[in-house]
Amino acid sequence: MTTTLRKTKIICTLGPASESPERLREMILAGTNVFRLNMSHAQHDWVRKIVPTIRAIATDLDLPVGILLDTQGPAVRTGDLGTKLDLKIGDIMEFTVRGARSEELYSVNVNYDGLIDDISEGDVVLVDNGVIHLKVLSKLNNRIRCEVLTPGALGSRRHINLPGVKVNLPPLTEKDLADIAVGTEVGVDFVALSFCREPSDIAELRSVLAKHGSNARVIAKIEDQSAVKLISEIIQATDAVMIARGDLGIECPMEELPIIQRHILKTALKIGKQVIVATHMLESMIENPVPTRAEVTDVANAVFEQADAIMLSGETTVGKYPVECVRVLDRIARRIERSGGAHYADQTALINPRQKTAHSGVVLANSFVNAHLAILTHRGIMADYTSHIRPEHAPIYAITPSEVTARYLTLNWGVVPIVMPFSETSGETVKNAEQLLLSRDLLKTGDQLIVMSDIVEGDEKFDFIQLRKI
Residues noted as catalytic: 36, 77, 221, 279
CB 310 within 8 A of CB 299: yes
Helix (H, G, I), strand (E, B) or coil at 300: helix
Cα(248)–Cα(245) distance, rounded to whole angstroms? 5
CB 236 within 8 A of CB 179: no
Instruction: Give 122's DSSP letter.
Output: T
Cα(271)–Cα(74) distance, rounded to whole angstroms? 27
CB neighbours of residue 268 within 10 Å = 27
CB 17 within 8 A of CB 322: yes
Q: How many CA atoms lie within 13 A of 76 on its CB side?
A: 28
157: left (phi over 0), alpha (psi -120 to 50) or beta: left
Give residues with Cβ within 8 angstroms of 427, minimum separation 6. none
Name the nearest CA neighbour of 24 among 243, 323, 305: 323
CA distances from 212 to 40, 184, 187, 404 (A): 21, 7, 10, 16
Cα(433)–Cα(134) distance, rounded to whole angstroms? 61
CB 146 within 8 A of CB 135: yes
CB neighbours of residue 435 within 10 Å = 12
Cα(3)–Cα(35) distance, rounded to whole angstroms? 25
Give residues with Cβ within 8 angstroms of 212, minimum separation 6. 180, 181, 184, 185
Give residues with Cβ within 8 angstroms of 11, minimum separation 6. 32, 33, 34, 35, 36, 68, 276, 278, 309, 310, 311, 312, 411
CB 279 within 8 A of CB 311: yes
CB neighbours of residue 43 within 10 Å = 11
Cα(380)–Cα(25) distance, rounded to whole angstroms? 26
The one-letter amino acid code at 428 reads: E
